[in-house]
Amino acid sequence: MKKKEGREEGPVGGYMARFLLGIFIMAAIFSGLLLAIDHLGLVSPAGYDGETSPPAIERFEADPAEIRPGESSILSWKVSGVGLAANVSIEPGIGPVAPEGEFALLPEETTTYTISAVNFAGRAEANVTVRVQRVE
């Protein structure tokens, strides 16, 4: 019996060649599918949520805006035009927040809080001051 040159014979060599060929074909099909999805715009770039206008701060207020030492104030806000790709935060001392919410404050001194919202289209900021009356 003559051995064919350049080809492995036997069950292991034949199965391995078919397996590798199958992997190659599946990779080619998958790559083509990804290119088609990208070309058709069916998937957005990572983090992009489709917003085309900058965020808008609809409401950012403190109630009450003036307090006595030891009293609290409620900070409330609502930001529109933000989605998955947005970053909304309040400083000083609060950090990242949801696009809408409330936060109880107990400032020891008059403090100005700044809310900032950022998306792919731009940035918006607003300020509110909580005044703490001086005790005399």
Structural domain including 103 reads 56-132
Strand partners, 104: 74
Q: Which residues are within 8 A (CB) of 26 and not within 5 positions of it... i.e. 6 or more apart?
A: none
Count of domains for the chain: 2
Q: Compute φ and ψ for 114, nearest 5 degrees.
A: -120, 125
Query: Would you state the pLDDT for residue 76?
Result: 96
Per-residue pLDDT tens digits for 93-107: 999 999 999 999 999
Domain at 79, CATH number: 2.60.40.10
| The overall pTM is greater than 0.85 | no
Peptide bond into 92 cis (omega under 30): yes
- Contact criterion met (CB below 8 Å) for 73 and 130: yes
Per-residue pLDDT tens digits for 64-82: 999 999 999 999 999 987 7
Dig out the tokens for 101 from the structure.
Answer: 């919410």
Same domain, 61 and 115: yes
More confident residue, 46 or 30: 30
* Gap between the Cα atoms of 48 and 14, Å rounded: 47
Residue 126 lies in a domain: yes
∠134-114-59 over CA atoms, to 5°?
Answer: 100
Same domain, 34 and 11: yes
End-to-end, the C-alpha distance of the chain in Å comes to: 112
- Contact criterion met (CB below 8 Å) for 120 and 85: yes
